[in-house]
Amino acid sequence: MRRSPGFTLIELMIVIAIISVIASVAMPNLLASKKAANESSAIATMRSLVSCQTQFRALSTVDSDLDGAGEYGTFGEIAGTTLLNARGAGPAIVLDPALLGPIFGNIDAQGRVRKQGYYFLVYLPDAALAGVPEAGGGGPQPAVDPDACENHWLAYGWPIEEGQSGDRAFFVNQRGEVFQTRMGTTPYGLANIPAANAALTGPTMNFAIASSANGSDGNLWTPLQ
């Protein structure tokens, strides 16, 4: 009788060992590439948000105190999923056309938007210039102050899984410059959300950004090059 061709046990073990070596080399590079892509997308989102906030305010899309000066908005308002009269004045319609894509209208119970391995959160000021996060499901919270919203807003982007979906968190406000941190002291992730003043030198939104210095969260924040 003739033997059927096939692999011996030793040959199979050699093949498995080779595959294991290849995987051990490829996986770190694959993870690094994925994190780099997520971070690039997050940076693009922060820069796009600057442009959209500028347009939103310039159009006086929301002017809840009716003083003729537009106010900065939340993701829900800018993405056209939250009624523009949510602050007590203005038309009972959504922004059309929206300035942000529909994914930014998907706001979770903590006011966060999730996109490509990152969370994003917009803060608007109250009367004392303390940051108020976007409401769960989208839109401004009642404490948001119309006058303060004419001059201030800020936002953070941070990895959903620190070290897995990204290594850096990002910050931007009405100045338009994006800042970054590697979260050496205070990591952010699924359960840990940056406070409004995390990248600032003081407790309220009129304090300076901690540029090349430690912010209120203890992390080193540097301008994005």
| Concatenated DSSP letters of the chain | -PPPP---HHHHHHHHHHHHHHHHHHHHHHHHHHHHHHHHHHHHHHHHHHHHHHHHHHTTS--TT-SS------HHHHTT-S-TTTTSSS-SS--SS-SS-GGGG-B-TTS-EEETTEEEEEEEE-TT--EEEPPTTSS--TT--HHHHTT--EEEEEESSBTTTBS-EEEEETT---EEE--SSS--SSS-PPPTTTTBSSSSTTSPB-TTEE-TTS-EEEE--
**pLDDT tens by residue, the chain, 225 residues:** 555 566 676 766 777 766 766 666 656 666 788 999 999 999 999 999 999 999 999 999 999 999 999 999 999 999 999 999 888 877 789 999 999 999 999 999 999 999 999 999 999 999 999 999 999 999 999 999 999 999 999 999 999 999 999 999 999 999 999 999 999 999 999 999 999 999 999 999 999 999 999 999 999 999 998
pLDDT at 145: 97
| pTM, two decimal places | 0.87
pLDDT at 216: 98
pLDDT at 74: 98
Torsion angle of the four alpha carbons 50, 169, 194, 63, in this order, in degrees rounded to the nearest 10: 10
pLDDT at 10: 74
Q: How far is it, in rounded angstroms, from Cα 188 to Cα 101?
A: 25
pLDDT at 1: 52
CB 221 within 8 A of CB 209: yes
pLDDT at 116: 97
Tokens of 78: 């800018």
Phi then psi for residue 30, to 5 deg, are -65, -45
Query: Domain residue spans in the chain?
Result: 9-223
Q: How far is it, in rounded angstroms, from Cα 110 to Cα 136?
A: 5
Q: How far is it, in rounded angstroms, from Cα 51 to Cα 43?
A: 13
pLDDT at 22: 63
